[in-house]
Amino acid sequence: MPKARWTMIALCFFASTINYIDRANLAVAAPFIQRELHLTPTTMSFVLSAFFWTYAAMQIPFGWLADRIGPRITMAVSVVWWSAFTMVTGMMRSVPGLMTARLLLGAGEAGAYPACTKVVSLWFSRGERGIASGIFTSGVEVGSALSLPIVAWVIAVFGWKWSFLVTGTFGFVWVIAWIVLYRDPDQHPRVSAEQYRALRIARGDTSYRDAHAEAAPWASVLRHRAVLGMTLGFFCMNFVKYFFITWFPSYLMNARGFSLAQLGTLGMLPALCAIPGSWLGGATSDALFRRGWSMTAARKTCLVGGMLLSSCITLCAFADSRAIAIGLFSLTYLSLSFVSANAWSLPADVAPSPRHVATISAIQNTASNIAGILTSTFTGIMLTVTHGSFAIPLLTAGAFCVIGACSYLFIVGPVEPIRFDRTERGAQPQLKAG
């Protein structure tokens, strides 16, 4: 296989890291913004959730774009867009201004993960997609972890407004490296014709690239049980995961009495523990597949086991000490990351053709960010109603972990390319599992 594939996935990892630093900086700055602008938890929840509305809405357009023109241009446009509006966020002085900046930020960030999934499908074999997805998705945890000390330090020294201006510059530096280094494998100068032929076979093109699959109707693809199950499972996983991106810093400061310094040190432990979870999750399913397990058994074992283990977040509502709470949050985040690497591998595993990969990933990510809207808004409303108690949000999160496990286990069928065969009457192609 071409060695250049590791450079490509490393670039995706850094993009994912910057993506989450820019996304999570508002969560770190939220307590300071609330005090300065005199915002209630409910109002702050609307500001936090604004990002997810446009992020969800733009998933499918960016996924379609990545499938049509490739990830190189799609990623460059996405990163420049979101970096600019990260910086704009720091210039806002009102709730409408903050919400507008976050809406535009979400629209730009929507292109990152469909494009990264496309990179994985283009550059990696079926037996390496898990670890490749684990590498780029681990940027989520690295970004979440780094956002706490970086943003906390900038806020302490310069104020919350400067935190957005500083982190917004990271993406512009990354885009330069991306434009210089990234090419699709069929256009890369370091990939020979022989290597490209081997790569096409290893990534499974011959098993599903046929005329019927290329012409597969989108309505039929999206109604398939595999896509529906993936979408529901991804929704449940991210309902829990986005708690860490939105309300977790506020939880530590308001419910556990953390100082800003402790937030920037102890508060990053769950995200640090989650970093190896992504790599371990992808490597485990790949190793099981290479040892003779079916792709269905390899992926589902990791997906279902990780979702069930992450339900321990419910116990945080009853933890008596900071140490126990942080430990349970760390185990939850690690388990979700273990699941995430496999969930992001599924679009390439089940897509009927390469032209469907990014858009299927965008479909499931749309659902995940509807979950982001719900978890950020629901948590804020519950805090207002219960006068600051996080018990109901944490109990609800645990329930969604179990629902997600059931979705991956029972709704998602065989993990294999969806195939299309013509009916005996020569009508429209019909879906059936491979």
Q: How far apart are CA 255 and CA 271, in angstroms?
A: 19
pLDDT score of 431: 43
User: Is the sign of the CA dihedral 379, 340, 9, 183 positive or negative?
Assistant: negative
**Angle, CA of 47, 48 and 52, to the nearest 5°:** 105
Rg (CA), the chain: 21
- Tokens for 100, please give them: 């507008």
pLDDT score of 218: 66
Go through the chain and tell me how many residues it has.
434
pLDDT score of 283: 96
pLDDT score of 421: 56
Cβ atoms of residues 110 and 58 within 8 Å: yes
Question: 328: closest CA among 394, 379, 242?
Answer: 394
Query: How far is the CA of 354 from the CAs of 101, 126, 156, 248, in angstroms?
Result: 34, 13, 47, 37
Q: How far apart are CA 330 and CA 40, in angstroms?
A: 28
Q: Is the pTM above the cut of 0.85?
A: no
DSSP structural state of residue 183 = -
Per-residue pLDDT tens, the chain, 434 aa: give them: 789 999 999 999 999 999 989 887 888 888 888 888 888 888 888 888 888 889 889 999 999 999 999 999 999 999 999 999 999 998 888 899 999 999 999 999 999 999 999 999 999 999 999 999 999 999 988 987 888 888 888 888 888 889 999 999 999 999 999 999 999 999 999 999 999 999 988 887 654 444 455 556 666 777 789 999 999 999 999 999 989 878 898 899 889 998 878 877 888 889 889 989 999 999 999 999 999 999 999 999 999 999 999 999 999 999 999 999 999 999 999 999 999 999 999 999 998 888 889 989 999 989 988 998 899 889 989 998 998 999 999 999 999 999 999 999 999 999 998 876 554 333 344 444 44
Task: Output the DSSP codes for 409-426.
Answer: IIIS--SS--EEE--TT-
pLDDT score of 427: 39
pLDDT score of 156: 87
User: Is the sign of the CA dihedral 142, 152, 268, 100 positive or negative?
Assistant: negative
pLDDT tens, position by position, 69-100 = 999 999 999 999 999 999 999 888 889 999 99
DSSP structural state of residue 430 = E
Question: How many Cβ atoms sit within 10 Å of the Cβ of residue 43?
Answer: 16
Superfamily grouping for domain 4-432: MFS general substrate transporter like domains (1.20.1250.20)
Give the domain ranges of the chain.
Answer: 4-432
Q: Up-side HSE of residue 252: CA atoms within 13 Å toward CB?
A: 28
Q: How far apart are CA 347 and CA 40, in angstroms?
A: 40
pLDDT score of 1: 79
Question: How many Cβ atoms sit within 10 Å of the Cβ of residue 207?
Answer: 14
